[in-house]
Structure 1
Amino acid sequence: MAEMTRKYGGIAALALLAGLAIGGLLYLSAKPQLQPTPPAPPPPPAVTVVAPTFDVVRVDAHGNAVLAGRAVPGAVVTIRSGDKIIGTATADAQGAFVLVPSAPLPPGAQEITLSETLPDGTKLAGQEVAAINVPVDGQGHALAVVSGPNGSVVMSGQGPAAGTLGMGTVDYDTDGHALFGGTAPPGAKVNVSLGGKQIGQAVAGADGRWHFISPTPAASGTITLLATGADGKVMPPVDVPFTLQTLPEAVAAGNVVIVPGDNLWTISQHVYGHGIMYTVIYTANANQIENPNLIYPGQKFTLPQPQKVP
């Protein structure tokens, strides 16, 4: 009897353990499982706030224009001629914008400026000015020059064509620096020397233009451009005359000697503070200027005392 009691007691104990095990499995299966915390989404890329700039200023002799540049992605860019708005454009996801004005630019000289309104409502003015002169009779070429913190760039109407090796502009700042700019095939390495001594080097950008800043040279001479293309081929050198003439000297003497790339609009912008006053220089030097779009290195122009600009 005792043996049977032990036997059935053992079976009961095993049954109890089995029941507990099954109950535990059922409990675990019914209990919510903790899930790992998903990683936080990456923060949106930071937007670099930059002032709008010109990439393309193309104007024909009749005033038909294409204006393009860079701005903050999503910004609304406002383009003005003087105080008049000639159009707006929205920068795309890469920050590029293009404007084809609905009406041709009028004949004569004008200054085109940029400003942008960011998606959050912030407004930012551009630091560049495009000085444009459209021929009155619709003949010849319109001159377009963009001036800004990095010097001046002749976009059309004068100077070497983008992508060809050449000297475009020489500007001076008030801190004793000269800003040299020119053209070369994209990716070309350009070395610039004056009188056999290197004064700077630069690499042409995708737009076929280069520039660099250096101390103002101590004397006049011959500038030599040596360039190696992106394919490693050496390009024929280019020599251009260079006549030193700093702005303080020009103003003090009442004249300026034209250096490669100079034009009446940038001279007027520097000396008078208004590129539109090119007419003052033109009138005072009409005997030397057959075409206001074409002036040449070595010409010496009188700079009249400026009148008050409205």
Structure 2
Amino acid sequence: MASKDQAPRRGSKTRIIAVAVLSALALLNIGMLVMLRHGGQPPAPPPPAAPAPAPAVSMIAPPQFDVVRVDTEGNTVIAGRAAPGAVVTVKDNNSVIGTVAADAQGAFVLAPQTPLAPGTHEITLSEVPPGGAEVAGNQTAVVSVPGNGGQVLTVLSGPNGSTVLTGQGPQAGQLGLGAVDYDTNGHAIFSGTAPAGATVDLRLSNQEIGQAKADAQGRWHISAAVPASPGMLSLGATTATGQILPPVTAPFAPETLAAALADGHVVIAPGDCLWLIARHVYGHGTMYTLIYAANAGKIHNPNLIFPGQSFVLPQPKS
């Protein structure tokens, strides 16, 4: 039989258990209320924060020439491509000769009101796309206007080398070797013409140099390591319809023009023009006038020189 002192202790334990049960029921009721407010389901976790948008990267390509047409009077038409809606600025020797807006397809055409004066002109492009910053072109069109009614020489230079547009060299659409340029990475850039869509194959002394496909304008470019030895270039082509064209050949000597200044003369090979020779020998195509002046008795028209001619190369004045 329990003593009187033990009875209160049992009562205390009972009260503690009752308080704990009531607390658990209260917590259960609160949990049920929360679930009812969320449709009987536990509350969904907050969605993860959206990642910050990546910064926009400019994909604006530099403006390009498609057409540079200059007649004997210096009247000029320039057409090309830029970003749609861009404002294109055309400069001649760093002087603005006109601005024009590219259409929705990025095409533009400019016919400056003032004809180009006799002499040498370096025409460049730049563009400002809608809401963007100025983008400089990576091509230069060098135009030589003789001023005596003679044929205008136009040479387009860019990352793919030089292309003689008018004045000398093979015509677009015909299979031919045009120019050879040398870049700063030890490559030779061969360029020429062929029917649009034709696959051309270039060999040196029957060793493969490279293949390319002529673009819609009938022009092609092949970049390769500079051949170590001279030889005969052979250019073959297969048209888009499968026709095999007769090959075109021309002599090649690596960096002959670059070493010609030390020898004091140069022998003209197929595809050469005074502008290209001056560019290789002196570093600037506009210095072709030095060669012309030193060989005035042999050159009746600076735009018409012929394979086999031998020209004196004067030392430029310091």
SS at match of 2:139: strand
TM-fit CA distance, 1:263: 1.8
Alignment partner of 2:317 out of 298, 307, 310: 307
The corresponding residue for 1:95 is 106
The corresponding residue for 1:170 is 180
The 1:307/1:89 distance shift into structure 2, 3 A limit, reads farther
Alignment partner of 2:69 out of 58, 63, 68: 58
TM-fit CA distance, 1:99: 0.9
Which range moved further: 160-169 or 278-287? 278-287
SS at match of 1:159: coil
SS at match of 2:275: helix
1:94-133 Cα deviation digits (max 9, x unpaired): 2221111112211222111111122224112212111111
Is residue 2:276 matched to residue 1:266? yes
The corresponding residue for 1:208 is 218
The corresponding residue for 2:5 is none
Number of corresponding residues: 263
TM-fit CA distance, 1:57: 1.0
In 2, the alpha carbon distance for the partners of 1:285 and 1:296 equals 13
Verify the 8 A CA contact 1:109 1:132 in the aligned structure 2.
yes
Superposition pairs of residues 1-310 of structure 1, within 5 angstroms: 48-138=59-149, 140-246=150-256, 248-307=258-317
Verify the 8 A CA contact 1:73 1:94 in the aligned structure 2.
yes
Which range moved further: 273-282 or 295-304? 295-304
**Normalising by the residue count of structure 2, what TM-score does the alignment of the two structures yield?**
0.76
The 1:164/1:129 distance shift into structure 2, 3 A limit, reads same
Which range moved further: 225-234 or 274-283? 274-283
1:223-274 Cα deviation digits (max 9, x unpaired): 1111110011111222223233345423444444434322222333344343
SS at match of 1:94: coil
Verify the 8 A CA contact 1:82 1:110 in the aligned structure 2.
yes
In 1, the alpha carbon distance for the partners of 2:159 and 2:267 equals 22
Verify the 8 A CA contact 1:147 1:266 in the aligned structure 2.
no
In 1, the alpha carbon distance for the partners of 2:265 and 2:139 equals 26
In 1, the alpha carbon distance for the partners of 2:113 and 2:275 equals 25
After superposition, the CA RMSD in angstroms is: 2.1
Residue segments in structure 2 that go unaligned for 5+ positions in a row: 1-55
Verify the 8 A CA contact 2:261 2:314 in the aligned structure 1.
no
SS at match of 1:190: strand
Which range moved further: 293-302 or 185-194? 293-302
Verify the 8 A CA contact 1:245 1:257 in the aligned structure 2.
no
Identity of aligned residues (%): 58
In 1, the alpha carbon distance for the partners of 2:132 and 2:279 equals 31
In 2, the alpha carbon distance for the partners of 1:97 and 1:169 equals 27
The corresponding residue for 1:23 is none
The 1:262/1:237 distance shift into structure 2, 3 A limit, reads same
Verify the 8 A CA contact 2:65 2:139 in the aligned structure 1.
yes
In 2, the alpha carbon distance for the partners of 1:299 and 1:210 equals 27
SS at match of 1:235: strand
TM-fit CA distance, 1:68: 1.0
In 2, the alpha carbon distance for the partners of 1:207 and 1:115 equals 23
TM-fit CA distance, 1:202: 0.6
